[in-house]
Amino acid sequence: MLLLTSCALAVTLARLGATASTFAGSTSTFQFPQPMPLSLRPILSSQTLNRSALQDQLQVAGDEAGSIATAPAVAKVEQAFPLVQPNTSDNKESSFNVIDHWGNLSPFKSVASFGLPNASAVIPAGYTLQQVQLLHRHGARYPTSGSGPADFATELHAAAQGVGFNATGPLEFLNIWTYKLGAEILTPFGREQLFNLGVGFRVKYGQLLKGFSDLPVWRTTSEERMVDSAYVAAIGQNLNITDAGLACISQQAFSVFRAILPDYHQLIEIEADGFNSTLAPYEICPNANNNISSFGSVQSQKWIQLYLAPAQERLSPFIEGFNLTIADIYNMQTLCPYETVALGYSVFCDLFTEEEWKGFEYSLDLAFWYSNGPGNPATSALGRGWVEELVSRLTQERITSFGSSVNETIVSNDVTFPLNQPIFVDASHDTVITAIITAMNFTSIAANGPLPTDHIPDNQTYIVTQLAPFGSNLVGQVLSKDGSTNPTHIRWILNDGVVPLTGINGCAEDPNGLCDLPTFIAGMKQRIQEIDFDFDCFANYTIPDPDTITDGQFPQ
């Protein structure tokens, strides 16, 4: 009877749309279980395991996997279960997958190639894996507070309270639609993503756990979705965090507290204004929080006004009592990925054509290129600190000069920043990952820039869906050749696609993306010297000609 009543109510509202709607755009919230105040969460006692105890755990669990070196191929991530694949309004091509065109709002899927079509993430023949560096993004989340989707719901609900509001045809659902999204934190699907990432990483690289003499130290930042992503990924790696709980965040200047877990140490760097962290470098870079950083929005808006004009003309006749602007339509388009990764499906997806979804994806490419990628003069400065930490890990030499986002207290000791681990794991954000690959000078990714704002270029190489989707991951494989016990080479795999390193001084073309390790280290040191952190982050300048920036630095 309840279902029948609900259906009848929907039909009645659709027919009587000229009266005020109590539904359209209203906020519907529910949370289970209720959140526990931070002050009531259990504080961990220090727990340590000696080498013998760790080895006993490994023996009980069975031998470690290392499929990245033993399997003939790597299993690809090709689906986003349990999300329902949306349709387009024109159903132009049945093979077209809307989910694959959401930019940084897309779920992670394996990338076929970044220009090395015959390369595989499997360790090349003749090489032995010595060490791995993993940098990953958090999983799918709800929108940030006060963002476009919530604004659209608020405006729609206000309009629906007046006389004359009515939605028909493809927009008829708006009469009873409510806003069900939370803010900032992971969705259930986002947790699944990070769990699967952890499982996959353990299966591929678990053999390296045998090389630890002390407990591993992984890193993340203090935002809730970051902490949760780190912990869920650890569960996927089969690292026991049963007793995990958060201690109060330290207010000391070094911006860190540690949660000590039975199987590994989780370092949590404070992500807040004025605190140094290479995993959230924008907190100490003024030009990452002003009109310099918002240049991507300026450039993207030029394109949005063009590609969504047909959608505005097509959809406007189906709604009365609400002025449907292009900004509203873009927010409706953005609701599609956010509702899908949160609720499993979104009716907003079906409103747009295949070409409009390609346009949406390109709007995010523009936003990232000009705000968080090679086209912004402060981007490389944001990525420089992590590159300095990478060099420190690869050389096992402490950082002694501090002129970027590196936190001196964190990197100055073995407790918070060990140098001899066979595995390093860092969790960060999409914009930080794109800043780091810009600072590392992965030029093949930026090959077709600067990006135009009036059309999608042919043979595009900078595609944010491939670079920084939810759950994205960058893996550095440190290898030794011909049975050597010392590392000799390195290569990088971004979302399962091997990245050419020819943009790094001295790294030659290689079908497997390999570079001599000493050459790579020298190239990273050169990049560190080239990037003027103080000027790019603190200087008072205007954006120069966009066509002059392709390396994330202010033109020399």
pLDDT digits (tens, 9 = 90+) for 179-203: 999 999 999 999 999 999 999 999 9
**Residues shown for the chain:** 556
Going through 166-271 in order, the beta strands assigned E by DSSP cover: 166-167, 178-179, 217-221, 256-260, 265-269
**pLDDT band at 50; cut points 50, 70, 90:** low
Question: Average pLDDT in the 487-502 region?
Answer: 98
What domains can be seen in the chain, in order of their start residue? 51-141+187-291+369-548 (3.40.50.1240)
Cα angle value 490/524/227 (rounded, 5°): 80
What's the pLDDT score for residue 91? Answer: 81
- Spatial contact of 61 and 189, defined as CB atoms under 8 Å apart: no
* The pLDDT value given to residue 62: 72
**pLDDT for res 276:** 97
Q: What is the mean pLDDT of the segment spanning 209-236?
A: 92
Interhelix angle 430-439/354-372, rounded to 10 degrees, is 60
* Cis peptide bond N-terminal to 450, omega within 30: yes
Q: Residue 367: is its pLDDT beyond 60?
A: yes
Local confidence band at 239 (pLDDT 50, 70, 90 cut-offs): confident
Is the whole-model pTM more than 0.75? yes
Percentage, residues of the chain above pLDDT 70: 86
* pLDDT-wise least confident of 171-185, 214-228, 250-264: 250-264
pLDDT reading at 241 higher than 80: no
User: Is the confidence at residue 12, as pLDDT, over 70?
Assistant: no
Q: Does pLDDT of 11 surpass 50?
A: no
Least confident window among 124-133, 218-227, 255-264, 473-482: 255-264
Spatial distance between the Cα atoms of 470 and 226, rounded to a whole number of angstroms? 12
Give the DSSP H/E element, type plus range, for residue 334: helix 326-343
